[in-house]
Amino acid sequence: MFMQESQLEMHRTVQLQNYQSRKRGMLENGLILGNFAHRFLPNMTEQQLSLYDRLINLPSNDWEIYYWAIGVQPTPEEFNNEVMTMLKDFVKNSNREDRTLQPNLH
């Protein structure tokens, strides 16, 4: 079974963003974003993937993303969207999951 071009492009986008989420400038974001990406990227819409791409690639400092996600600093309007809300909920870790390791890539 072959993927249509649009499906293939989304698959590539998910793989790239998954990798970018894991390889951050700081361990904390690598763990948070790597686990978040593993759980949510495969089911995101094209618009959500675009918002996530902006979130992980536009801020000049990884600490900003971290502080926004944990709620220490207010999220700027340009990043305050449904994906950031998902990330903030994920960071709360209501189910007390062990997220001290990166998920497997496969």
| Highest-pLDDT range among 22-31, 73-82, 97-106 | 73-82
Domain ranges for the chain: 5-91
Give the pLDDT confidence of 55-90 residue by residue, as tens digits.
999 998 999 999 999 999 999 999 999 999 999 999
Cα(55)–Cα(17) distance, rounded to whole angstroms? Answer: 11
pLDDT of amino acid 3: 60
Burial of 69-79, coded b for 16+ CB within 10 Å and e otherwise, reads: beeeeebeeeb
Tell the CATH superfamily of the 5-91 domain.
Flavinator of succinate dehydrogenase (1.10.150.250)
Backbone angles phi, psi at 74, to 5 degrees: -65, 145
Of residues 3 and 8, more confidently modeled: 8
Q: By mean pLDDT, which of 20-24, 28-32, 44-48, 84-88 is the weakest?
A: 20-24
